[in-house]
Chains A and B, each alone.
Chain A
């Protein structure tokens, strides 16, 4: 064993709970999820933690480590000083179920509110062809592993529970952006719904979603801001709006 770790792990449910002190041994190269598993195996047999791949690809082990939203499987123990107490809590934007497990169903409900791509009429499966340059933009967004760290850190819902009904969050803005940038998508009201139904206007570009994204997706620069600009084209730019009506440019863009 390389070092002795002092942890504070939040334990409880949606009614009550608190931080509990734990001391545990840690090996070289271990990540926080390894340590949680050791605690689970040796000291807290009923500690609830959600995890799956241990490779930063399933997005299951999202939690807050020393107050920062992170994937436990991608957080090296060695990145913390020897004398630092590591505090581990569940995500603080969502209701807790037990210990480190939260109820993230808010996100699945929001996902269902976004219509899938609508292909041109008469186009059969296997027929669509896209150029690589057109695919690249949305490929970045397809890297999303749905860990919901961006949703968790977004202050619009983290700090204002009442906004959840009218704000979908950064994970779904990249989904909407991906579809709105899709060359073959025929649904033309995505900008309108992004603003009016999904609450794009709530975002004030503080970029926390981008900061915490484990896949390094440029959520703000490549999805949210481009969507805000597209919304501005239709809703806040009378010159652009008039031009689009006269020349019907939407078809050729």
Chain B
């Protein structure tokens, strides 16, 4: 039985959309960038090597928590042993990547991005989606999106650790403080973009003051809410720049691990 725009009683129009603009470009670009990131991140997580070039550590592997971690890369020690799943050895990245991945998967901005570009639900506004049935975020697995705040809180822990990584990058390969390299800038920018992404998060906005009914009774929280609200309008930008930069940071650390001369020191 016909449903959606072809339902009985609605205007009889055979096209799924009458849009004449290039509505498919945006979801296509989104798909391309996100898919490229997924491929790259998966490959790097499986690679299990070239993630540490003292003092730089890849954000994909920080904190490095297993006994497989290379010497000097474990900021918090190695509480986990060698990980094997279904007979396959997993790199230290697998223990931690689930959290930033969960943060982005449940993110209110990325929901728009992947629902449009991957699931085509809908691919663009006023373009009929191909699915016969739709229950949204009322059932598993998408109901998990309601737990975004927990990933946000865990994300803050990761941001703190990655900020520490960035400050540790003020050392030279011999472990002496007071030096700065391209890698320092790369990791500092990575931490900055990630803090921007977290601070502009909708769950952050809610926790800071959005849940209040009386702004006037909580002037400090109201002020904080107005600041987060301003950042929140740039959440999409932070989402993209932090995603691309975290991949670039990993790539840079990998290249420095293979070619130490890539990491030029300013002083």
Return B191 CB to nearest CB of chain A, in Å: 26
Q: Kindly identify which residue among B4, B20, B146, B206 contacts A235, using a CB–CB cutoff of 8 Å.
A: B146
Cα A208 to Cα B133 in complex, Å, equals 19
Size class of the contact patch on chain A:
35 or more
Do residues A153 and B146 form an inter-chain contact, with CB atoms below 8 A?
no
Return A240 CB to nearest CB of chain B, in Å: 9
Could you jot down 5 A-B contacts, CB within 8 Å? A17-B12, A64-B18, A155-B122, A202-B137, A204-B137
If A68-B19, A96-B11, A201-B146 are given as contacts, then 7 extra A-B residue pairs at C-beta distance below 8 Å, sorted by A number, are A95-B10, A96-B9, A159-B4, A159-B128, A205-B111, A206-B116, A252-B214
Cα A60 to Cα B106 in complex, Å, equals 37
At the interface, yes or no: B212 with Cβ under 8 Å from chain A?
A: yes
Cα A237 to Cα B8 in complex, Å, equals 41
Cα A16 to Cα B202 in complex, Å, equals 45
Do residues A161 and B202 form an inter-chain contact, with CB atoms below 8 A?
no
In the complex with contacts A96-B9, A201-B138, A204-B142, A64-B126 CB distance below 8 A? yes
Do residues B122 and A226 form an inter-chain contact, with CB atoms below 8 A?
no
Cα A69 to Cα B5 in complex, Å, equals 13
Cα A123 to Cα B83 in complex, Å, equals 64
Q: Kindly identify which residue among B5, B147, B205 contacts A92, using a CB–CB cutoff of 8 Å.
A: B5
At the interface, yes or no: A121 with Cβ under 8 Å from chain B?
A: no
Q: Kindly identify which residue among A67, A185, A228 contacts B146, using a CB–CB cutoff of 8 Å.
A: A228
Return the 10 tightest CB-CB contacts between A and B, nearest first.
A67-B18, A67-B19, A131-B216, A208-B125, A95-B9, A202-B136, A229-B206, A201-B138, A159-B4, A236-B146
At the interface, yes or no: A127 with Cβ under 8 Å from chain B?
A: no
1/0 contact string of A69-103 vs chain B (CB within 8 Å)? 10000000000000010010110111110000010
Do residues A90 and B11 form an inter-chain contact, with CB atoms below 8 A?
yes
Residues in B whose Cβ lies below 8 Å from that of A111 = none
Do residues A161 and B12 form an inter-chain contact, with CB atoms below 8 A?
no
What residues make up the interface of A, taking CB atoms closer than 8 Å to B? 10, 12, 14, 16-19, 64, 66-69, 84, 87, 89-90, 92-96, 102, 130-131, 133-134, 137, 153, 155-156, 158-163, 180-183, 185, 199, 201-208, 211-212, 220-221, 225-226, 228-233, 235-237, 252-253
State how many residues of chain B have any CB contact under 8 Å with chain A: 55
Cα A159 to Cα B233 in complex, Å, equals 29
- Closest residue of chain B to A229 (Cβ to Cβ) is B206
Do residues B215 and A211 form an inter-chain contact, with CB atoms below 8 A?
no
Cα A53 to Cα B201 in complex, Å, equals 39
Do residues A181 and B213 form an inter-chain contact, with CB atoms below 8 A?
yes
- Closest residue of chain B to A155 (Cβ to Cβ) is B122
Residues in A whose Cβ lies below 8 Å from that of B176 = none
Do residues B4 and A160 form an inter-chain contact, with CB atoms below 8 A?
yes
